[in-house]
Structure 1
Amino acid sequence: MRISAKKVYEVLKREGVEHIHHANSVITSCQFLRNGALLSRGSIEQKGLYQTPQNSDKIDKDMGVWFDVFADSVDIHHRASRLNAYGPVLFLIDIELLKKAYTGGIWITKLNPTRWEGKKHEDKWFTSVKEFENNFKKGEFNQMLVFRHCGGELSFKKYLKEIKLDDPNQKSKHTKIDYYSMAFGALKISMTEGGIDVPIFRRTCVGKCSCINEYSSDMARTDQMYMPKPIKSD
């Protein structure tokens, strides 16, 4: 069900949410910065731009959310103490965007679309304002904000506050440069091209975060997530 941006803003503020979060790869994040907006997977494809493939792409198309923009209420990497499967670049966007920018209505999931097969509509989405008010929980990973009526683009130029970037402590075999430095430079250049100036912070993990081990155990995937240009086959 479409819920007004004003109501979503009120509930998020009540729950102590100050930012909406979106994680992605370096290449895809650079496309966002150049355009000054979060772009849906379908919008990037329509523009003829490159984006890092995601395991959920076919599901998103099948489930009718290919042209929707997704965001979370928390930093999943921090909360789960592991890497975010969608990428090492995290955008933190002031939730004032919901109140001051035109976003249309917002839909809130109950389940990640990767788990929708065979589910009824009411099992996928919050279906009333009251249900949303009574059951939304900050940091519940299945409860995602979905911008379905924003033309596949959620402009964030005035509201992007900072970017967090993971440091996997590894070098790329393609460039011989450490991933963090390479990604940082690509993001800064893209910000300049998009007329954006926000700080990029190196993520500081706490507790027993497993991200470093996860990055080093799948270097092919790490390459995909960090390379600022598509990787050519050997």
Structure 2
Amino acid sequence: MRKEVILETRGLWAGYGGKPVLQGVDLSVREGQIVAVIGRNGVGKSTLMKTLIGLRPSDQGSISFEGSLIDRLSGHRRARLGIGYVPQGRDVFPRMSVYENLLVGQSIGASQKPAGQIDEIYGYFPILKERRDQRAGTLSGGQQQQLAIGRVLMGKPSLILLDEPSEGIQPNIVQDIARIMVELNRATGITIVFVEQNLDMIRSMAQRCYVMEKGRITAEIDTATLEDRDAVRQFLAV
């Protein structure tokens, strides 16, 4: 059975100080998919993520989530609707403990009691349970990324946006995170859209990819093409 479209943009424009970065982005993501947005630095991938979650206003076009227009809603309201966002650089609360960071995520709107919800997160990310009383700012980059993802998952989103999840992380931890995200997708049906340049992570996670160039989607890659490392590498250097 073909699943419904959960996220869709049409002719989306956004930028900074009157200078356009996104220049008419069209994309469509169905429930339960893992979709990557790839392309070289500076083509607008992170701006797209910030615009989807509401940190950047859109200038033209539309954003729909679960069939409703959301492009005029605040980021907070989008999060309440079920969109989780892990920014580039992770942005954990450095002076707060791992446990306290997770509680912040739970406040977004999950109905489950915090204890049970946190146990679920610890099941996916055991290092967070081991370091639960440690200040987040003292964790390694990979541990902070796991915490940032866990914090978002505490809010029980139906869609999670990941911006460069491999940035500054050791290769073995990158593969651990990719594996866990695929497990989460299979176990819960959560939809994942992620921006990435790490070829191994793209191939490990993505079911299909959108290619960005100069603020536009210029190509779509299917699963078969993802198996061709040279082809994917070429798209990363467009």
TM value normalised by structure 2 = 0.27
* Structure possessing the higher relative contact order (Cα contacts under 8 Å, 6 or more residues apart): 1
TM value normalised by structure 1: 0.28
